[in-house]
Amino acid sequence: MTSFALNDSSVFVVIGSGAAGGTLANELAQRGHKVVCLEAGPRLQMADIVNDEAEMFGKLTWLDRRMATGKPDPNFPVWNCKTVGGTTMHWTAACPRLEPHEMRALTTYGVMPDTTLVDWPVTPEELEPWYQKAELRLGVTGKNGLPFLPPGNNFKVLEAGARKCGYTDIDTHHMAINSIDRDNRPACHQLGFCTSGCAIGAKWSTLYTEIPKAEETGRFELRPECMATGIALNDAGRVESVTYLHNGKSVTQKARAVAVAGNVVETTRLLLNTKSARFPNGLANSSGLVGRNYMRHFTIQVMGVMPGKVHFYRQTHLAGVVRDERGHRPERGFAGGFLINTVPFTPEILAKNMLIGGWGHELTDILAKYDYLAGMLLTGEDPPQLSNAITLHATERDGYGLPVPVVHYEDHPNTIAMKNYAWKAGRRIYEALGAEQIVEMGDYIPATHNMGTARMGTDPKASVCTPYGQTHDVPNLFVSDGSLFPTSGGCNPTLTIVALVLRQAEHIDQALKAGRL
Amino acid sequence: MTELGMTRRATMRGLALGGALILAPGALAAVAAPDRRSATTAALLRTTFPHRALTDDFYRSVADRYLKEVAADPAAMKAHDLGLAELDGSHIAPFAELPAVIRRSLVEKVDQLPFFKALQWRGAEMIYRDPAVWKLVGYEGSSVEYGGYLERGFNDIDWLPKAAAGGQG
């Protein structure tokens, strides 16, 4: 395995090994650059991935202390991963693209009170070829000649009910799950444990795609269990090194340039916690916007006790989609739109989610009909609000001795209106098929889509990064994850993150080759 | 909270803290006797997660495992015992011997207390992580060792209206 010296200042350091970090690191290595990738979590082997949600939760999840104020769970506001592969271990692998009207949010929706809505500084036309490259790389189904995944029970119920309601834009979705053997990975066997790590590797995860491919170049070194704690600048205001904790010891790696890809919360924490005379409020934070405009998508559920058995756990978690409510139709009483996807729950998770609403027969009458349940997850656009922000706690410290991140989030009235509409829309779908009982479940799942805290833009006063994810303040410091999103759109963010990263990699490659970095 | 309830809870707190046994008749056993503690906890679990098909022995075994875990935290055990005393203090009969409808109304009075929330959360894990319960509700669990559900019914639904079942793939 390749390894680089700590004083080798020619390496590009990538912090994070998930969708953004893992892909960027591989792409730079493929383009001939030396890369060190720091990952806070351990490197699992395929044999470590088992079909047991509770066990995998412990193996994959970022469990270091976090706090929240406002709407989220005060102790567990965000559900992301701390492992090589990052949250590509947990993701459902849904790969919708942003809609062009969503990338022009301010133009489309108009001024919305108490938001910082903007149009993206990258146009849909500019992003289009990068979406294509991302879809090819991830093997997205229903694109580039790859077949869709086959329809299973939970999807068939959703589809049948949705068609009765007049919806038509319905299929098994564009998924980064192999529908045929490809990329030295098998086709999906419908294990039903997508969010606990795919035990056969049919789902794209950087753990067994980007990372080993980067290693094959001989120009890449992965350093697992290395928690980045600071980024140092030289007198000229350029990054010169990254410091991290490994086995309790502080280590410093020299760097030519650095990209941060810590799934928003850790990206924010690292920048805010790196204070200097030049940047007293945190690195690359002259705008004061690092950590601000934090967005997540709402995730509400509707469960139906159906007239016949469904066995909704017997397939991919996100097994299909209804897109008809994705458009912007203000007559519904809100701006933007949402997607309707399938979702299953294990009995344990279903019980826990329902406990928030009650106990006794209210709960167990549903659980007793577990094999008759169909389930859907509805997720929609979340407008950016300056007051939704990730900050550092003044005194509380985690196991690394780092300030605990505090996530503050409240729903915008637009989100509340959209949720109320979405619950009704979901309910109608199962009612159309004669569901015996419908359970509406609230927005309890901790956020998995994290966006907005280092937004891209052209004005250094109104954004943290350039349209290529380069920080306005420090020329050789990049942000690569969902932090860059100026608005959230109405769909899962990972494909867009990968598309932006591939575009960023080309930009970095050209800058490195031209001697500008 | 009634005045009587307040008094009783204050009494129980005094008992648990000081160990001085000034007894109300219904309260005696709840603090001390392991059998009563186990029986009341089991009845509370059944009231919270009532499944006719699950036996009293099943709830008793979950209760005993739960109590063993709680015992590691004296403060939590104290809170749990105070909660049980509230339930056992009806002066009619011990909680476990009451009809389901009365048990339910008693639990409604404590269902916002931390001891109950803790039991709910951990109880849900213990009950619904149990393969015997999976069998009861129709969940098949780990599938990778059987090659997934691809050949084992992932698309076997047969009751949907024919016209609607198109599907893409």
Of the pLDDT bands very low, low, confident and very high (cuts 50, 70, 90), residue B15 is very low
Cβ atoms of residues A288 and A460 within 8 Å: no
Q: Is residue A3 part of a domain?
A: no
Q: What pLDDT, on the 0 to 100 scale, is given for residue B162?
A: 77
pLDDT at residue B10 is higher than 50: no
Range of the domain at A129: 12-513
Chain B contacts of A53, Cβ < 8 Å? Answer: none
Say if B163 falls within a structural domain. no
Which residue from B minimizes the CA distance to A315? Answer: B154
Residue A410 has pLDDT above 60, yes or no: yes
Q: Residue A227 is encoded by which pair of tokens?
A: 């928690």
Inform me whether the pLDDT recorded for B23 exceeds 90.
Answer: no
pLDDT of B29 over the 80 cut? no
Domain CATH for A267: 3.50.50.60
pLDDT higher than 90, residue A136: yes
Give the 3-state secondary structure of residue A394.
Answer: strand
Give CA–CA dist B69/B90, Å, rounded.
Answer: 27
Q: Which residues contact A118 (CB under 8 A, 6 or more apart)?
A: A105, A106, A384, A455, A457, A462, A486, A487
Say which range, A50-54, A212-216, A440-444, A498-502, has the weakest mean pLDDT: A440-444
Count the domains in chain A. 1
What is the structure's pLDDT at A457?
98
A51 and B141 within 8 Å at the Cβ level: the answer is: yes
| Domain presence at residue A1 | no
Query: Has residue B25 got a pLDDT over 80?
Result: no
| Mean pLDDT, residues A197-221 | 98
pLDDT of residue A355: 86
Q: Dump pLDDT digits (tens) for B120-139.
A: 999 999 999 999 999 999 99
Question: Based on the number of CB atoms within 10 Å of its own CB, is A48 exposed (0-12), middle (13-18) or buried (19 or more)?
Answer: middle
Q: What are phi and psi of A16, to 5 degrees?
A: 115, 145
- How far B7 CA lies from chain A's nearest CA (Å)? 28
Where residue B34 falls among pLDDT bands split at 50, 70, 90?
A: confident
For residue A18, pLDDT beyond 70? yes
From chain A, the residues in CB contact with B54 under 8 A are none
Chain A: give the shortest CA distance to residue B119, in Å: 11
What is the length of chain A? 517
Q: What is the pLDDT of residue B30?
A: 43
Q: Please judge whether A355 and B156 are an interchain contact, meaning their C-beta atoms are less than 8 angstroms apart.
A: no
**DSSP code at position A256:** S
Please say if the pLDDT value at position A4 is more than 90.
Answer: yes
Asked if pLDDT for residue A14 goes beyond 50, the answer is yes
The one-letter code for the residue type at B161 is: P
The whole domain housing B17 covers 3-154
> How distant, in Å, are the alpha carbons of A482, B29, B105, B116 from that of B96?
53, 13, 13, 16
Is residue A5 a part of any domain in this protein?
no
**Does B27 score more than 50 pLDDT?**
no
Choose the weakest-confidence range: A249-253, A371-375, B11-15, B54-58.
Answer: B11-15
- How many CA atoms lie within 13 Å of A88's alpha carbon, on the beta-carbon side? 34
Residue B26 confidence (pLDDT) above 60: no
Q: What's chain A's average pLDDT?
A: 97
Amino acid at A426: G
Mean pLDDT of A229-245: 97
Number of domains in chain B: 1
**A505 has a pLDDT exceeding 50:** yes
The verdict on residue B140 lying in a domain is: yes
pLDDT at B4 over 50: no
Whether B63 shows a pLDDT value over 90: the answer reads: yes
The answer on pLDDT for A10 being more than 50 is yes
pLDDT score of B159 more than 60:
yes
pLDDT at A233: 97
Interface ipTM: 0.94
Query: Is A2 part of any domain?
Result: no
Q: Using one digit for the tens of pLDDT, what is the confidence trace for A286-311?
A: 999 999 999 999 999 999 999 999 99
Share of chain A above pLDDT 90, in %: 97
**pLDDT at position B163:** 59
- Among A156, A163, A359, beta carbon nearest to B111: A359
Residue B68 lies in a domain: yes
Under 8 Å between Cβ of A482 and A464: no
Contacts made by residues A412-416, CB under 8 angstroms, sequence distance 24+: A412/A112, A412/A114, A412/A115, A412/A382, A412/A383, A412/A385, A414/A112, A414/A115, A414/A334, A414/A335, A414/A336, A414/A383, A415/A298, A415/A334, A415/A380, A415/A382, A415/A383
Quick check: A51 and B143 CB within 8 A? yes
Question: Given a cut of 90, is residue A7 above it in pLDDT?
Answer: yes
A35-38 and A257-260 as β-strands: parallel, antiparallel, unpaired? unpaired
Mean pLDDT of A395-408: 98
Residue A380's nearest CA partner among A108, A99, A119 is A99
Q: In what order do the strands lie in the sheet with A239-246?
A: A227-233, A239-246, A249-254
Residue B168: inside a domain: no
Confidence bin at B28 (pLDDT 50/70/90): very low
Q: What is the mean pLDDT of residues A260-280?
A: 97
Are the Cβ atoms of B133 and A347 closer than 8 angstroms?
yes
Residue B21 has pLDDT above 50, yes or no: no
Is B141 contained in some domain? Answer: yes
Mutation target vs A (from B137, B140, B146, B151; most A CBs, 10 A cutoff): B137
Is residue B167 one of the residues assigned to a domain?
Answer: no
Which member of A156, A315, A364 has the closest CB to residue B167? A156
Cβ contacts of A314 on chain B, cutoff 8 Å: 140, 143, 149, 152-154
CB contact under 8 A, B142 and A52: yes
Which candidate from A51, A155, A190 shows the least CB-CB separation from B150?
Answer: A190
Is B166 part of a structural domain of the chain?
Answer: no
Query: How high is the pLDDT of residue A357?
Result: 77
Work out the mean pLDDT of chain B and round it to a whole number.
83
Which percentage of chain A shows pLDDT scores above 70? 100
Q: Which of B129, B126, B128, B131 is nearest to B63 (CA)?
A: B126
Question: Looking at the domain assignment, is residue B67 inside a domain?
Answer: yes
Tens of pLDDT along B104-123?
Answer: 999 999 999 999 999 999 99
Question: Six-digit token pair at B166?
Answer: 């198109």
